[in-house]
Structure 1
Amino acid sequence: MYAPFFERTHESLAKKISAAAFCDHGYCPENYGKAKYGNVTLESAFIHSYNTPAVRLLRQVGVNNAFKDLDKFHFQQVTAMDHVLPAAIGGFSVGMSPLEMTSAYTVFGNEGIYQPSHAITSVTDQHGKILYTWKDQETRVWSKETVGKIRALMRQTVLSGTAKKAFIPTSYAGGKTGTTNNYKDYWFIGLTDKMTIGVWVGKDKPESMETFEKKCPTF
């Protein structure tokens, strides 16, 4: 939710937003552990994965506006039914595959430009004649200004936020953790200057893994 917000408002990471309890027409998401906070900076909300600020940002940006941005990634199983506030914290009916999610994050290592992931760049015959070459399909999703802010937030997340155990000593390392409704999915997307890596933990038949999270943290 942060990238669509920055793209439209150009606000700084220091902008304050409420992390208090939130309710809208019966939808009342909670922060992890049912914690309640006051006003926090966007940086603090991001690196600690507070839920209620993310939902507030989506409401401010507008659900339809945010999904116009998501449409550029061509997620295969995101439908009009998902155009609701819970989407801000992973409340999709089906959602994205690990490959789709990881591919979407590559834009933050490519100056805001998205290219669909592909396994084959070219095919040649036994004589070296090129039979097929992948043609780049570039789409600008975010401005360089927005990319810089998200990279700063992801970097701080591995320095002092929810992904600090994923820190590696390199020129740049950033990441974002995520947990979907009822602890059915656990995510981590890691980013360096050379690669983007996605990790998903879940079950083939989705069910709560809250006990797993407490006993075996991802990091």
Structure 2
Amino acid sequence: MPAESRPVRILVVDEEETFTHVVRLALELEGWEVKVVHSAADAIADRSRPDIVLLDMMLPDGLGTDVVAALRSAGSRAVVVFVTGRAEHEERAAAYAAGADGYLTKPFSLEEVVDHLQMIVRRLGLAATSRVAGDLVLDVDAGMAWRADELLPLTSLEFELLRELVEHRGARRSTGELVRAVTARGIRVPREFVARMLERIRVAVNGVGRPLLVGDEAGWQVG
């Protein structure tokens, strides 16, 4: 199924107004919804339910690690990425220990930040090119698949077969139907290897959580 149709919500937490202004413009050009706050207190009090938080380590009223800890304690599952000039190993370790998901050190280009966030958006299943089935996320542009945030080790052909099943979630597809559908997209699939590829896909997908991909000689289905 396609990704849900809503803007990606990003919260930027940094006291430097010049930096936040430039970052905000760059992120809004991607079509994302951006909110900026300048203190730890405002970040903790925020109720915008962001998908991603860009967070500085040193804030006027506290540390970024305090913000992450508070967000996690409140049940927030937002992806938290530090964007900071603090490059020390101890700072980085403290950030991850508090619950951060990423750490970018200044100086960096805006392109680097945007590229980093684009991959997160794809992994979350919020891109226009995303296909989602429960906690299984595919990005048809990147040719990558994740389940429960874990990247699945699929070949390009295996990805295309899984994409066909996800895009027809709930429908049982025979091996022949899968081959014809993928071939119609201009991708050649060696029929003699399809059964083996489907079994590899099942192991990769179901190895991360409850069985989501089921199938046998009669047909295959993402349920």
TM-score by length of structure 1 reads 0.26
TM-score by length of structure 2 reads 0.26
Higher relative contact order (CA 8 A, sep 6+): 1
The structure carrying a bigger strand percent of its residues is 2
